[in-house]
Structure 1
Amino acid sequence: MEHLINSNVKDIEISGIRKFFNLVAKYDDVLSLTIGQPDFPTPTHVKEAGKAAIEMNKTVYTPNAGIPELRKAATEFVTKKYKMDYDPETELIVSIGASQGIDIAFRTILEPETEVILPGPVYPGYEPIIKLCGAIPVHIDTRETGFQLTADLIEKNITEKTRCIILPYPSNPTGAALPETELRKIADLLQDKDIFILSDEIYSELVFEGKHQSIATLPGMREKTIVINGVSKSHSMTGWRIGLVFGPEYVMKQMLKVHQYNVSCASSVSQYAALQALTTGINDAEDMKVQYQERMNYVYGRLGEMGLEVVKPSGAFYLFPSIEKYKMKSFDFALKLVEEAGVAVVPGSAFSELGEGYVRLSYAYDMQTLEKAMDRMERFLKNL
């Protein structure tokens, strides 16, 4: 009965990141720089809050949108950090990670044959959901603009079918961010257009220079923008699965219906841990960010010494060096690197066709691991 399975589901594939991660698991003595996950433990005070929630039997269903205390804390967090203003009662949904937030956002605003503009190369989690909605992803080549989706590029690709534009910054896989000047140009372009913006800001606390700015804070953009955030990257809470979705009330009341029938609510225990993270732990990301920047500078410098072209990241914890000069497919290069040097990175092709000719490596690993991996990679390239 396989022919009865939804064709949209059969047409999508498992993430290329996970595919390669699973592939290299069978090799011994491999230093893996593949998964985008903080290597820091969840802060102790956050874990204690989760334990306390269990001991106090806070293990029942919560309101669909999340516990009121967490919604209030989350809106206060983004106000203090980024000057964003949202009503905790009507303009925020606590989701099961940023991924589920993206899912319910797309299922609320997309219809068959509508188009979604997104930069390429790009995180592979958007395209499958767009396709499951029957909509069409439109990848825009950002390789000549420092991996930034500019207003000029957007304008050239807007059609009457354009329903949404994705701004995933700071970026996975490139670490690029959009400067305020470019955000303002995009805002000016979209002022009079009925087009949604999905702004994925999950790495907002990991910006190395200056402060993160959301396009939702610019004139005329709040009513068009759905903001995705969460505590996975900022507080090293990937497994707790708490995302935060902000948006104007008219969108959120519709999105809440999708969320309700999708999952009912996020984990109650995780919500109380996230409450602790966003209040007592409001600045927990600062120490992690300092270490990430040190690691980034080290790996960026080593890659440059190896002769690899790479755009210096503005945030997140990824580098995306070009391997085009070796005249190899990114998958073949990455597999050879595993087999001959014992270092695992992610083929750029996992991030759309526009990622071909690159590899992504995560520096969310301790310095000892990074030093060993760079030494191995340098020897590998010398013999390639």
Structure 2
Amino acid sequence: MKCLSTKATSIKPSGIRKFFDLASTMEGVISLGVGEPDFATPWHICENAIHYMSTGHTHYTANRGLLELREEICKFHKEHYNQVYDPENEVIVTIGGSEAIDLCMRALLNPGDEVIVLDPNYVAYAPSVILSDGVVVPLKLKEENDFKILPEDLKKVITPKTKAMIINYPSNPTGGVMTKEDYAKIIDIIKESGIYVISDEIYAELSFDQPFASLAQFDEIKSQIIVVNGFSKAYAMTGWRLGYCMANKELSSVMNKIHQYVIMSAPVMSQYAGIEAIKNGYDDVLMMKEDYLKRRNFLVNRLNRMGLKTNMPHGTFYVFCNIQSTGLDSETFCERLLQEQKVACVPGNAFGDSGEGYVRISYAYSIDHIKEAIVRLEQFLKDLEN
């Protein structure tokens, strides 16, 4: 239709939702596709929200969010990650991390500005760039490098038009991480180029094998870094839609203006839940993290034993499984696995061209579901050989 936006109509639907929606129409499907914890939000977090709702706290908050929540966010990041931000001027509470990414793009981009997006990457990044009139420039990551950013590769994709780069470590979909030593190798490139880096750290609390590292820990480039985080993954609060972004005062002020007009403020009951989560919920995070670790170890071991080469993910709750040995492309593999064995996962090409030949399997599901899915997957591979 001529009346519709060409930008909006040109964007492909999410490859994640496509297979989830298809699986939801079939009976007996085990879905390992969506990145949502199978745990319910811990009750003490829900109870705090209920208490404030029952006592009449049901109104707008400040645009940036409740000051107490912003103060607790800054305190948490200083204690756990050595990231220092001002709760009054450098933090905005958002509708999930997704709104924060959108605010970054709208605040930073002019038409034609280039944004480096890792490939493979989370499915929402490229559309957010396009919708803000930016140009997506993929930075291809390789399995043999554990899907890390290498300085020589980063240099090649930076041009005079580069405005920003979006990174996500621990990574959805690969489970890859960047250590502080890895980041140190690209600091000079970021500083000299003057680009902004939007660092989506939504899985920071789900780092398994080494301490979480962030570009915001490097003082020499901190003003160029925008940290995005939230409560969905670590605290099992996906439905509460609560995130936040932290950036230098000038940029944060511009982002807050956009937030004012589009959102006003994040839901107040979610913010009170967030206060309780960040103050008293870390034991819950550690409990869930321990369970994810057991699932990860089981899943990676079984996938490799059945001949599907899979790097050990050092964070998140995903494995990025190499299925090239089957001779099938990602879409065909996932379609046939769903139709023939009723197991749903996500084709790697949903996350960019470099994801072709892989599938993303989430282990944010019970170990019983994972074990049954593995039995079905093994049968699927045997049927392929015959």
Q: Which residue of 1 aligns with 2:88?
A: 89
Which residue in the other structure is 1:260 paired with? 260
Give the aligned partner of residue 150 of structure 1.
150
Deviations 1:149-181 (Å, cap 9, x if unpaired)? 222211111000010011210000010001211
Structure 2 CA distance, aligned partners of 1:64 and 1:13?
32
**Partner Cα distance (2:120, 2:25) in 1:** 28
Aligned to 2:25: 26
AA aligned opposite 2:104: A
User: 2:286 is matched with which residue?
Assistant: 286
- Listed one character per residue, the Cα deviations across residues 330-368 of structure 1 (whole Å, up to 9, x for unaligned) are 111101001111111111111112211111010011111
Distance 1:58 1:101 in 2: 24
Could you list the runs of 4 or more consecutive aligned residues of structure 1 that deviate by over 6 angstroms after TM superposition? none
For 2:232, the aligned partner's letter is S
Q: Is the CA contact (8 Å cut-off) linking 1:302 and 1:374 kept in structure 2? A: yes
Preserved contact between residue 78 and residue 85 of structure 1 (Cα < 8 Å): yes
> Is the 1:329–1:356 Cα contact (8 Å) retained in structure 2?
yes
Native 8 Å contact 1:77 1:282 kept in 2: no
Deviations 1:119-166 (A, max 9, x none): 111110100010011111111111242211222211111000010011
- Taking structure 2 as the reference length, the TM-score comes to 0.98
Q: Is the partner of 1:383 in helix, strand or coil?
A: helix
Q: Which amino acid aligns with 1:73?
A: E
Aligned residue runs from structure 1 range 38-77, under 5 A: 38-77=37-76
Matched, 1:172 2:172: yes
- Worse-matched range after superposition: 264-273 or 212-221: 212-221
Q: Would the aligned equivalents of 1:151 and 1:182 in 2 still touch at CA under 8 Å?
A: no
1:314, distance to aligned residue in structure 2 (A)? 0.6
Tell me the residue number matched to 1:133: 132
Q: Which runs of 5+ in 1 are unaligned?
A: none
Task: Name the structure 2 match of 1:371.
Answer: 371
Which letter maps to 1:350? A
Contact between 2:331 and 2:347, CA under 8 Å: does it hold in 1? Answer: yes
* 1:16-49 alpha-carbon deviations (Å, 9 max, x no partner): 1001111122222111000000111101110101
Q: d(CA) in 2 for partners of 1:155 and 1:345?
A: 34
Aligned-partner SS, 1:320? strand
Q: Which amino acid aligns with 1:31?
A: I
Decide whether the 8 Å contact of 1:149 with 1:167 is kept in 2.
no
CA distance in 1, matches of 2:10, 2:205: 35
Please, which runs of 5 or more residues in structure 2 have no aligned partner? Answer: none
Looking at structure 2, the residues matched to 170 and 322 of structure 1 have their Cα atoms a distance apart, in angstroms, of: 19
Task: Check the 8 A contact 1:330/1:357 in 2, yes or no.
Answer: yes
> Which amino acid is the alignment partner of residue 235 of structure 1?
Y
Structure 2 Cα separation of the partners of residues 284 and 369 of structure 1: 22
Cα displacement string for residues 282-311 of structure 1 (whole angstroms, at most 9, x for unaligned residues): 342111111101100000000011101111
- Paired with 1:320 and 1:282, the residues of 2 have a C-alpha distance of 27
Residue identity in the other structure for 1:272: Y
Q: Which amino acid aligns with 1:19?
A: K
- Rounded Cα–Cα distance in structure 2 between residues aligned with 1:152 and 1:239: 40
Deviations 1:253-276 (A, max 9, x none): 111001111100000000000000
What CA distance in whole angstroms lies between the structure 1 residues aligned with 2:282 and 2:321? 33
2:39 maps to a residue whose letter is F
Counterpart position of 2:113: 114
| Alignment pair present for 1:325 and 2:342 | no
Q: Compute the displacement of 1:250 (Å).
A: 1.0
* 1:359 maps to 2:331: no
CA contact (8 A) 1:101 1:228 kept: yes
141-150 vs 8-17, greater mean Cα deviation: 141-150
Distance across 2 between alignment mates of 1:198 and 1:284: 28
The answer (yes or no) to whether the contact 2:179–2:212 under 8 Å persists in 1 is no
Deviates more, 1:91-100 or 1:274-283: 274-283
Tell me what 1:192 maps to: 192
Alpha-carbon offset, residue 249 of structure 1: 0.4
Distance 2:364 2:89 in 1: 35
Separation (CA, whole Å) in 2 of partners of 1:73 and 1:282: 13
Moved more, 349-358 or 155-164: 349-358
Q: State the TM-score, normalized to the length of structure 1.
A: 0.98
For 1:348, give the aligned amino acid: G
Distance in 1 between the 2:109 and 2:325 partners? 40
Give percent identity, aligned residues only.
Answer: 40
Contact in 1 for aligned 2:208/2:293 (Cα 8 Å): yes
SS class of match (1:88): coil
8 A contact 1:122–1:352 mirrored in 2: yes
Give the distance between the partners of 1:101 and 1:34, measured in 2 at CA: 24
Q: CA RMSD in A?
A: 1.0
**What whole-Å deviation, never above 9, does each CA across 1:170-198 have from its counterpart, x for those lacking one?**
00001000121110111122122220000
After the TM superposition, which of the residue ranges 369-378 and 182-191 deviates more from structure 2? 182-191
For the residues of structure 2 that align with 1:88 and 1:140, how far apart are their CA atoms? 33
* Amino acid in structure 2 at the alignment position of 1:82: Y
Alignment pair present for 1:222 and 2:222: yes
Counterpart AA for 1:270: S
| Matches for 1:203-352 after TM superposition, within 5 Å | 203-352=203-352
Residue type of the alignment partner of 1:319: V
Which amino acid counterpart does residue 375 of structure 2 have in structure 1?
D
